[in-house]
């Protein structure tokens, strides 16, 4: 009897959230059917003309589509690899520090950029890397010609990756630091007694100790391969570097909301969601297999 | 940590301290540079003379900001957004996580709800259908467009739900015997136990709302309704002239000087920097709870 009345209360708790999710997630998902239409906002979803897969065919025939997909995957992969390498190195070096206070202070400082928005950071970075910016002042100081960091298709992707690493390496290290804290200190003592030096201890104890965490993060990052970072690129890029930095999300924004090709942009977005879904499922399966970890 | 006083080891230690200090400074440098810029004279800033120390120290930018009505309007909108948005996030997380932490026996259809949550976590609508949904609901130019679409952070719900499920059954039974109903149980028993997790989730939600700019850009037609980050984005990154009146455009061009922008950037970082010590205290613990399950 008691349980019965509880059920009613549980549902009262659930309903607001489920309702909001339905309205702002499920319903717009079904709104994606405009990808199969020639959508006209004045006629609405019900009265727009159906065109089948035309938008998708058009998408694949677009001269830019291959470039955009390549940019997305390329930038995302570079960010993932560089992010892991730098976070891991930083975590290991920090772990070797003996002064607790110093360790704390450094941690406090390197986490700060993570909490600032890309709007703010891109404002600062664009100023730093412009032709008259501080970076070029340094370049000139060494006797070189000023460099077009923001207008060069060769350099710009690296600026994106570099600034992303700069923003996130400290924060990304937290997971590794947690894993490092879990390594049995007895191992280090035993190794020291056996005559292992610092580097051998890092090589044979620290590194193997966090391999499971590395494997886990690598497999989970697979699900993010189509997310090259909209906020950052949207705020940092300019028409000159579209060729090297236009990613799926920025393209959807420009095609959809700026040029008002609603159906095409939705088709591109839908394609991305589908591929992302499979990538997430695969990465979850791999994580379960190699690292015994489940998100769902 | 073991001590090992070999020569190579000591060299490594010194090298390590220097390298990590440089890294830490590198993370602070751009922000410091912006601060120096905001206290410098316009001419020195435009000439690129300012590095890490203000040139011709003055407060002009800050006194000018006091007169910028749009800045303060946006500031206020951002504050309202943070309060409204993160309270909503907190409420929804709690209200979903608690019943979902019950067994399928206590809550019939629990598994169906679970699939619904998972489905919505894995698939999120793309930009265009989302835009039309908000538009069709008549939320354009309203603060609700900024807080409702992200009101339910499903990932956080899962996190808190798992936390709740690990609370010993005995605790629940004892409360039941004392006559606690579901609401009492959720608020007075489960919530206090989960305070560390909830604190982390809420702090991140505050930062997220404060830093968001894109929804402001697409859902707000009028500049007067821009939250702070959107306003700053328009100011320093690119100005979309189609959205501004001529008067506003002239005003923007007059004031979009380097030092002034630097000062605005700095003021907009300030709330995060004030919140930061509290964040710092909680998040390391909280993230470890969420990310490494062993």
Q: What is the pLDDT of residues A6-39, one digit of tens each?
A: 899 999 999 999 999 999 999 999 888 888 988 8
pLDDT at residue B291 in the model: 44
CB contact under 8 A, B158 and A296: yes
Which residues 2-61 of B have a C-beta within 8 angstroms of A?
2, 4, 6, 8-9, 12-13, 16-17, 19-21, 23-28, 30-31, 33-34, 37, 48, 51
| Cβ–Cβ contact A7 with B under 8 A | yes
CB contact under 8 A, B127 and A269: yes
pLDDT at residue B290 in the model: 47
Give the pair of three-digit tokens for residue A184: 């049995």
Distances in Å between the Cα of B285 and the Cα atoms of A294, B90, B200 are 20, 19, 9
SS3 A38: strand
Beta bridge partners of A49: A38
| Calpha distance B196→B202 (Å, rounded) | 10
Which residues 126-155 of A have a C-beta within 8 angstroms of B?
126-128, 132-134, 137
The mean pLDDT of A132-150, rounded to a whole number, is 88
Distance (Å) from the C-alpha of residue B16 to the closest C-alpha of chain A? 7
Entry pTM: 0.89
pLDDT at residue A287 in the model: 85
| Cβ–Cβ contact A256 with B under 8 A | yes
Contact residues, chain B, for A29 at CB < 8 Å = 123-125, 129
Whether residue A247 contacts residue A230, with contact meaning beta carbons closer than 8 Å, is answered with yes
Percentage of residues of chain A with pLDDT beyond 70? 98
The mean pLDDT of A249-278, rounded to a whole number, is 91
With CA atoms as reference, report the closest residue to A235 among B251, B265, B276.
B265
CB contact under 8 A, B288 and A235: no
Contact residues, chain A, for B124 at CB < 8 Å = 25, 29, 273
With CA atoms as reference, report the closest residue to B175 among B197, B195, B191.
B191
With CA atoms as reference, report the closest residue to B228 among B201, B254, B266.
B266
Give the residue on B whose Cα is nearest the Cα of A119.
B233
Q: Is the ipTM of this complex over 0.95?
A: no
Burial class (CB in 10 A: 0-12, 13-18, 19+), A132: exposed
| Cβ–Cβ contact B221 with A under 8 A | no
| Calpha distance A77→B49 (Å, rounded) | 37
Higher pLDDT, A19 or A184: A19
Q: What average pLDDT does chain A have?
A: 89
Side-chain-facing half-sphere of B173: CA atoms under 13 Å: 3
With CA atoms as reference, report the closest residue to B59 among B45, B32, B38, B35.
B38
pLDDT at residue A18 in the model: 97
| Calpha distance B204→B224 (Å, rounded) | 27
Give the pair of three-digit tokens for residue B225: 């309704």
Q: Tell me: the pLDDT tens digits for B246-274?
A: 555 555 554 457 888 889 999 999 999 89
Percentage of residues of chain A with pLDDT beyond 90? 46
**Number of residue pairs across A and B with CB atoms under 8 Å?**
256
SS3 A213: helix
pLDDT at residue B286 in the model: 54
- Nearest-CB residue to B16 (from A31, A96, A175): A96
| Calpha distance A122→A116 (Å, rounded) | 10
Which residues 156-195 of A have a C-beta within 8 angstroms of B?
166, 170, 174-175, 178-179, 182, 188-189, 192
pLDDT at residue B20 in the model: 94
pLDDT at residue B213 in the model: 95
pLDDT at residue A6 in the model: 87
- Nearest-CB residue to A120 (from B28, B268, B284): B268
CB contact under 8 A, A108 and B272: no
Q: Tell me: the pLDDT tens digits for A171-180?
A: 999 889 988 9
Calculated CA dihedral for residues B163, B166, B170, B176, nearest 10 degrees: 40
Whether residue B85 contacts residue B144, with contact meaning beta carbons closer than 8 Å, is answered with no
Contact residues, chain A, for B292 at CB < 8 Å = 175, 178-179, 182, 213
CB contact under 8 A, A20 and B293: no
Q: Tell me: the pLDDT tens digits for B89-108?
A: 999 999 999 999 998 888 98
Higher pLDDT, B249 or A143: A143
- Tens-digit pLDDT string for chain B (294 aa): 445 567 888 888 899 999 999 999 999 988 899 999 899 888 888 777 888 888 888 888 899 899 889 999 999 999 999 999 999 999 999 999 999 999 888 898 999 999 999 999 988 898 999 999 999 999 999 999 999 999 999 999 999 999 999 888 888 888 888 888 899 999 999 999 998 889 889 999 999 999 999 999 999 999 999 999 999 998 876 554 455 555 555 555 544 578 888 899 999 999 998 988 887 777 766 555 544 443
Distances in Å between the Cα of B135 and the Cα atoms of A28, A112, B128, B144 are 11, 36, 11, 12
């Amino acid at each position: 009897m008691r349980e019965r009345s509880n059920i009613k209360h549980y549902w009262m708790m659930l309903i607001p959230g489920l309702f909001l999710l339905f309205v702002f997630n499920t319903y717009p998902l079904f709104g994606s059917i405009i990808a199969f239409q020639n959508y006209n906002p004045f006629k609405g979803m019900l009265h727009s003309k159906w065109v089948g897969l035309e938008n998708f065919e058009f998408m694949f025939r677009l001269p830019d589509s291959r470039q955009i997909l390549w940019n997305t995957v390329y930038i995302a992969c570079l960010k993932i690899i560089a992010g892991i390498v730098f976070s891991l190195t930083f975590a290991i070096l920090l772990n070797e520090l003996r002064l607790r206070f110093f360790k704390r202070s450094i941690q406090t400082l390197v986490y700060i950029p993570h909490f600032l928005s890309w709007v703010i950071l891109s404002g600062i970075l664009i100023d730093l890397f412009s032709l008259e910016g501080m970076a070029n002042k340094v370049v000139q100081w060494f006797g070189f010609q000023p460099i077009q960091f923001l207008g060069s298709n060769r350099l710009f992707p690296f600026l994106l990756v570099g600034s992303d690493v700069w923003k996130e390496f400290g924060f990304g290290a937290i997971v590794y630091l947690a894993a490092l804290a879990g390594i049995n200190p007895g191992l280090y003592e035993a190794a020291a007694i056996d005559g292992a030096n610092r580097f051998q201890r890092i090589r044979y104890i620290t590194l193997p100790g966090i391999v499971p965490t590395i494997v886990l993060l690598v497999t989970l990052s697979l699900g993010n391969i189509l997310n090259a970072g909209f906020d950052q690129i949207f705020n940092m890029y300019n028409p000159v570097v579209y060729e090297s930095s236009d990613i799926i999300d920025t393209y959807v924004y420009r095609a959809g909301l700026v040029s008002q090709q609603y159906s095409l942009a939705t088709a591109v977005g839908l394609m991305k969601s589908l591929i992302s879904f499979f990538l997430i499922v695969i990465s979850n399966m791999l994580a379960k297999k190699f690292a015994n970890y489940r998100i769902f | 940590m073991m001590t090992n006083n070999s020569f190579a080891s000591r060299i490594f230690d010194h090298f390590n301290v220097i390298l990590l200090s440089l890294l830490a400074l590198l993370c602070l440098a751009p922000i410091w540079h912006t601060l120096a810029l905001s206290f410098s004279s316009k001419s020195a800033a435009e000439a690129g003379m300012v590095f890490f120390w203000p040139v011709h120290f003055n407060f002009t930018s800050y006194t000018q900001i006091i007169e910028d009505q749009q800045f303060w309007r946006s500031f206020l909108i951002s504050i309202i957004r943070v309060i409204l948005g993160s309270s909503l996030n907190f409420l929804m997380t709690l209200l979903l996580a608690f019943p979902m932490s019950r067994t399928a026996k206590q809550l019939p259809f629990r598994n169906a709800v679970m699939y619904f949550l998972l489905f919505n976590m894995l698939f999120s609508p793309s930009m265009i259908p989302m835009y039309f949904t908000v538009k069709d609901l008549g939320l354009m130019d309203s603060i609700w467009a900024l807080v409702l679409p992200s009101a339910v952070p499903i990932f956080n719900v899962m996190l808190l739900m798992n936390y709740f499920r690990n609370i010993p059954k005995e605790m629940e039974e004892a409360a039941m015997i004392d006559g606690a109903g579901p609401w009492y149980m959720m608020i007075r028993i489960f919530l206090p136990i989960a305070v560390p997790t909830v604190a982390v989730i809420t702090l991140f939600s505050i930062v997220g709302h404060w830093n968001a700019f894109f929804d402001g850009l697409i859902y707000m037609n009028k500049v007067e309704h821009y939250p702070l980050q959107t306003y700053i984005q328009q100011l320093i990154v690119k100005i979309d002239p189609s959205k501004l009146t001529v008067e506003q455009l002239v005003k923007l061009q007059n004031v979009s000087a380097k030092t002034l922008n630097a000062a605005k950037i700095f003021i907009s970082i300030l709330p995060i920097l004030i919140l930061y010590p509290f964040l710092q205290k909680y998040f390391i613990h909280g993230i470890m709870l969420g990310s490494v399950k062993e």
